[in-house]
């Protein structure tokens, strides 16, 4: 144990998908030293597999759209079991997040007048999904990565080291959240390549490890979605809520076996596709 690799940060973010990268940007911009840990390569999170787009009531295609209608659609889609405050924040803030992505370098598809295009999607009253062809998640992650590098370059000028205040630790799996005197004190994990163990000391840990869908045999989720964060949080004493809710895509590949379960984009239904049986 004397040779244990150790690091110390203000914030450790576990996960480099859309959620983790956005949290890391916010923490760094607030002046904190941040570590981002992910068990795959940087830029390979499940988020890159999101195809359809990001729902935001910008009203670019139908100007009747607004956050209240988006909020209603979200609550209705969730059979009114959703956490209404989360649904409200999502509906209110998503247009700003789309603009933010554009300011950071994302390039969404356009309407004929040059506005950000929005497409139909199941459960949404109006065309609402900002998209980049069918590779929206890839563009989102590419943009967030670019933002992380821009912040690192800024730190490079100030501190003569690009990684002094914001560093990515790829291919490192976190196995435990460390607590001291009842409080979160860091995380413990191992390098996937060597198996060597690593300790991160940090008074704040953000869990952004994605979903749990890969626990099913046939799934549209990437290999990473094994619910690690749920387990880490539970073991650290957190309460998990609404665990019975899982999204299953109704349209997926059947053949060939190598791609079984891979998503056929949900927007096929938004564009009028109908699900039938053999009859």
Q: Does 51 bind ligand FAD (CB under 6 A)?
A: yes
Q: Does 128 bind ligand FAD (CB under 6 A)?
A: no
Considering only residues 11, 12, 13, 14, which one is a binding residue for ligand FAD as defined by CB under 6 A? 14
Q: Does 23 bind ligand FAD (CB under 6 A)?
A: no
Token pair 């590779």: residue: 135
Cα of 249 vs its chain's centroid, Å: 17
Q: Cβ neighbours of residue 155 under 8 Å, at least 6 residues apart?
A: 161, 162, 163, 164, 165, 166
Angle at which helix 136-159 crosses helix 18-29, to 10 degrees, equals: 30
* Size of the chain, expressed as the number of residues it contains: 279
3-state secondary structure of 252: strand
Task: Report the C-alpha gap between 55 and 136 in whole angstroms.
Answer: 11
Considering only residues 18, 95, 127, 270, which one is a binding residue for ligand FAD as defined by CB under 6 A? 18
Active-site residue set: 249, 269
Q: Does 45 bind ligand FAD (CB under 6 A)?
A: yes
Q: Does 210 bind ligand FAD (CB under 6 A)?
A: yes
Pick between residue 27 and residue 263 the one whose CB is nearest to ligand FAD.
263
Considering only residues 9, 40, 139, 198, which one is a binding residue for ligand FAD as defined by CB under 6 A? 40
Q: Does 127 bind ligand FAD (CB under 6 A)?
A: no
Q: Does 82 bind ligand FAD (CB under 6 A)?
A: no
12, 21, 106, 219 from 206: Cα distances, Å: 6, 11, 25, 26
Q: Does 116 bind ligand FAD (CB under 6 A)?
A: no
Are 37 and 13 in contact, with CB atoms under 8 Å apart?
Answer: yes
Q: Does 263 bind ligand FAD (CB under 6 A)?
A: yes
Q: Enumerate binding residues for ligand FAD (CB under 6 A).
A: 14-20, 37-40, 45-47, 49-54, 136-137, 173-174, 208-210, 220-221, 224-225, 228, 263
């Amino acid at each position: 144990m004397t040779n244990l690799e150790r690091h110390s940060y203000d914030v450790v973010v576990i996960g480099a998908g859309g959620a983790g990268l956005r949290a890391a940007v916010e923490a760094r911009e607030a002046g904190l030293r941040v570590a981002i840990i992910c068990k795959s390569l940087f830029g390979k999170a499940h988020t890159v597999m999101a195809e359809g787009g990001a729902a935001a009531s910008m009203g670019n295609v139908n100007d009747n759209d607004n956050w209240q209608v988006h909020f209603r659609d979200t609550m209705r889609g969730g059979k009114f079991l959703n956490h209404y405050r989360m649904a409200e924040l999502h509906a209110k803030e998503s247009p700003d997040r789309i603009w933010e992505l554009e300011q950071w370098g994302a390039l969404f598809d356009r309407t004929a007048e040059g506005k950000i295009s929005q497409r139909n999607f199941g459960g949404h009253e109006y065309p609402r999904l900002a998209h980049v062809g069918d590779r929206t998640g890839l563009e989102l992650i590419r943009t967030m990565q670019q933002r992380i590098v821009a912040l690192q370059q800024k730190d490079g000028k100030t501190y003569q080291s690009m990684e002094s205040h914001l560093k990515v630790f790829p291919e490192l799996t976190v196995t435990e959240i460390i607590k001291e005197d009842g409080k979160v004190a860091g995380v413990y994990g191992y390098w996937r390549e060597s198996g060597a163990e690593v300790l991160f000391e940090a008074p704040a840990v953000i869990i952004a490890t994605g979903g749990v869908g890969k626990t099913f045999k046939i799934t549209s989720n990437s290999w990473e979605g094994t619910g690690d964060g749920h387990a880490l949080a539970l073991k650290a004493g957190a309460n998990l809520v609404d665990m019975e809710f899982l999204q299953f895509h109704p349209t997926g590949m059947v053949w060939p076996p190598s791609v079984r379960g891979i998503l056929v984009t949900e927007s096929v239904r938004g564009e009028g596709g109908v699900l039938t049986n053999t009859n």
